Each structure stands twice: as C-alpha cells, then as structure tokens.
Amino acid sequence: MAGSSRTTVCSRGSTSSTKRLREVGTAEFGVGQTDSERVFALITASIRAHGGDESAGLVDALRWLAANVPIYAVNILLSTATDMWALRYPEIQSALTSWTGAWTVRPISILRTKRIRAWSEPLCTRPSVVFATEPMDDDPRWSLLARESWSTFDAALQVTRKLVLPDAPEHPISRAI
C-alpha cells in the first residue's frame, strides 16, 4: 500500500489523532511530526481494523477525522497493487486551493504545464491514470475529482465514484484572508 496525503489540521487535531492511534493499537505508526504522517497512520490502522478492507478502512478513518479533528483540507491518494483511491475533503472555495485534482485515463506521451512536466516511456503505449493539480494539456478527458467523494480506479482503470463524506467537518478551520 502506498499513499500520499496533503492535510491541514491544527495542533489540537494532532493530539486527538495520536490518542486515536493509541486506541487502535498502532501508535508506532504515529511517530511522524506532520499531519500527513498521522493521517496515513490512522488510515493504515483503520484498514487493519477492517481486516485489510481498504475501502472500509479509508471511510472509517476519514469519518473519524471529520468528526474529531479540526480540518482545513484533506487530500488523499492511496494505492495498492491493483486499486487507487483519490479524495478531496471538504468543499473549499476553489480560489483558495490550488489542488484541483484533475485526472485522466489514457496513454501518456508528454504532459506539461508552466510548472510541471511529466513523461513515462512505459506508459506511452498503455492506459494509465494521471493525477495532477491542473489539466496538463487540452485533452477533454481531464476531469476534476468530486469533492467529499472518493474516486476509485481498479486494475482495469475503471473509475467508481462514491460520496463518503456528505457533511462538513465538525471542526472546520477557515483560511485567514
């Protein structure tokens, strides 16, 4: 399992998540100092608690975070050898976040924006999923990740969308302007 998360929670959330990691018996995963490390540890613990069911564990961890931790934003990419989940939570005014979570399924040649360039020779001849902060070319297959929902991609690159967090976090953090 591999994962990436970009998370913004406050220090009170770090204390809550550390306590939660102890409760579920995986405090050793929470030794990191960043919010992202703690979120990934919580997701890992929740997957273990659900007998290895990644979907159930991911939903459990995210619902616990939404109910217990002050949150500005949680953006997650989680993958196994056959599946990948992508999620953005909660709904934030798009002008305040640069992570639009654009994705497309197709062979990759060269993708680029003013800031990013991507190329993969093995992926030039086979379909793949590409996640980016913005569409990287004019191809109409780019799509935004639905907020509060996860998008799951299976080994055949079929996408399933599921609303998993319909409500705002219990303790939302707003951005100072």
Q: How confident is the model at residue 27 (pLDDT cuts 50, 70, 90)?
A: low
Q: Is residue 34 part of a domain?
A: yes
Closest alpha carbon to 80 in 28, 27, 44, 41: 44
Q: Are 61 and 69 in contact (CB under 8 A)?
A: no
* Overall pTM surpassing 0.85 (yes/no): no
Residue 52 domain-assigned? yes
Share of the chain above pLDDT 90, in %: 17
pLDDT grade, residue 1 (50/70/90)? low
Segment of 54-58, 98-102, 162-166 carrying the highest mean pLDDT: 54-58
Please report whether residue 48 resides in a domain: yes
131 within domain boundaries: no
Tell me whether residue 67 is in a domain.
Answer: yes
**CA 167 – CA 63 distance, rounded (Å):** 10
Per-residue pLDDT of 68-78, as tens digits, reads 989 888 888 89
pLDDT at 11 over 60: no
- Does residue 41 form part of some domain? yes
Instruction: Give the number of domains in the chain.
Output: 1
Containing structural domain, residue 3? 1-89+147-152
* Inside any domain, residue 29: yes
Q: Which two tokens stand for residue 112?
A: 């680029």
List, for residues 88-141, the tens digit of each pLDDT value: 888 664 422 333 455 666 666 777 778 777 777 877 777 778 777 777 777 777
Asked if 156 and 127 touch (Cβ cutoff 8 Å), the reply is: no
Query: Are 165 and 146 spatial neighbours (Cβ–Cβ below 8 Å)?
Result: no
5 found inside a domain? yes
